[in-house]
A and B are shown apart, each in its own frame.
Chain A
Amino acid sequence: MSDETVTGTHRIELDEPKCVAAGQCVMVAPEVFDQRDEDGVAVVLDETPAAELLDDVREAVAVCPAAALRLVAL
């Protein structure tokens, strides 16, 4: 495994009550986000995504219409 694929430099925080289930995060970063079957609310599949996924995650955070996502450096 190369340095680029080491995980755990950032953690995703989802403020679930704010989520409006628009699914934007799933469209941008399907490896990291999903939607619950019962109401479409976002699910974080990988809370500390690998470095090569961080650009997509940053975009998902930026386009989240409910501002329910944060990416924090560990």
Chain B
Amino acid sequence: MTDTTLTDTGRTPDVVDYPTPRDPRCPFAQPANVLATTEADQMARARIWDGSTPWLVTKYADQHALLTDPRLSIDERREGYPHMTRGRSVSAQHTPRLITNTDAPEHTQLRRVVNLPFTVKRVEAMRPRLQELVDGLLDEMLAGPRPVDLVQAFALPVPTIVITEMLGMDYGNREDFQHASHVLVSHDATPEESAAAGAVLGGHVAAAMEAKMAEPADDVMSELAARVKAGEMTMRGALSMSTAILIAGHETSASMISLGTLALLQNPDQLEYFRSIVDDPKAVAAAVEELLRYLSIVHTGVRRIANEDIQVGADVIRKDEGLVLDVAAANWDPAQFPEPDRLDLTRSARSHHAFGYGAHQCLGQTLARVELQVAFRALVSRVPDLRLAIPAEDVDFAYEGVAYGLHSLPVTW
């Protein structure tokens, strides 16, 4: 396609500082200046950490089309790629080829190699173990002192235990996993801090992989080890993938559990509704989709770069320009989700972009969904008078990461 077929109005797009801090009165909402762009006539640009101004895509319909458009690339090594942080811009140049930085057809091949543990059948088979684990943590919490920090007692242990068991890593090292993961997804971490955290995680992962190569067990790292032995995967790729699964597998789910609990406590009618549907798996699943949409914890967008000129409405994205696709804003686009600021567990929210969209949509989304279904169902039915132990305005939000969450959530019952 040549430039002459594209129409550019030549206007100067609005520029939004990105990320802009949230309004503390609306802790679950993207800031007003970002949300306003979902209803603007044309796209805005985001001014990011390095002063560059990639396009800011916030309309749901634009995102839905662009995230399946093969003219966009996720090759983060390219000049002009809009990195999340300075640290990411440095590490991107020597990250091995992974599902997170390759386009089709290479991406499709890589994804199919790592996808098996996350198929619907395999994840559904984990449901009884998840139930047992969640019940055990709640037994312990209910027998202990009040108030308790729900993050430490429940929200963080659930996904950390699940992902370490799934990979075949030692839960005893959880403090290292949790701390290093937190640093690696933080926008505030320096490249040095990120490198140190990466080394700690890398050490644990390499030791575990060595053990699995020698003595395979029934877990994901053993499967990856077998793929390395079969020549289907490089050792470096297997280690990077294990590390990525470990990082992505717990902080995000932990944030969803703690934020979801807070959102339900602040919307008593919705909490009451959730209690009334705990025996209806379809309604529970739909409620979790709405929590995923409403909270949209990945709050600083997913990033791409254009391979060629692309017309979007009245704008033209030029070849080699970067894009920030803010999935949280798109999930609050009133054209797709009417009254988006209302938590409505009965709404049809499944088409949300909380896990992203397109070929790079979250690998672990089925696992996350099942974890959240089991966790919320157990929490609301087993702790009927759950309530905040501090004033709502004192809840300590954590906005510094790729996904936002809570530092702590003191609750009682």
Contact = CB atoms under 8 A, between A and B. Distances in A.
A65 B357 contact: yes
A7 to B, nearest CB: 23
A62 B112 CA distance: 21
Interface stretch (B174-182, B201-209, B307-315, B359-367): B359-367
A27 to B, nearest CB: 6
B105 interface: yes
Interface of A: 17-24, 26-28, 30, 34-35, 38-41, 59, 62-63, 65-67
Interface residues of B, number: 27
Given A35-B119, A63-B350, A17 B357 contact: no
Interface of B: 67-68, 104-105, 107-108, 111-113, 115-116, 118-121, 350-351, 356-361, 363, 365-366, 369
A21 B116 CA distance: 9
A39 B115 contact: yes
Nearest to A41: B112
A26 to B, nearest CB: 4
Contacts of A28: 350
B31 to A, nearest CB: 27
B116 A27 contact: no
Contact of A65 (B120, B350, B358): B358
A17 B105 contact: yes
A72 to B, nearest CB: 18
Nearest to A19: B108
A67 B108 contact: no
Name the residue among B105, B119, B360 with the largest chain A CB count within 10 angstroms: B119
A27 B83 CA distance: 33
A23 B119 contact: yes
Given A40-B118, A59-B350, A66 B112 contact: no
Contact of B359 (A35, A41, A66): A66
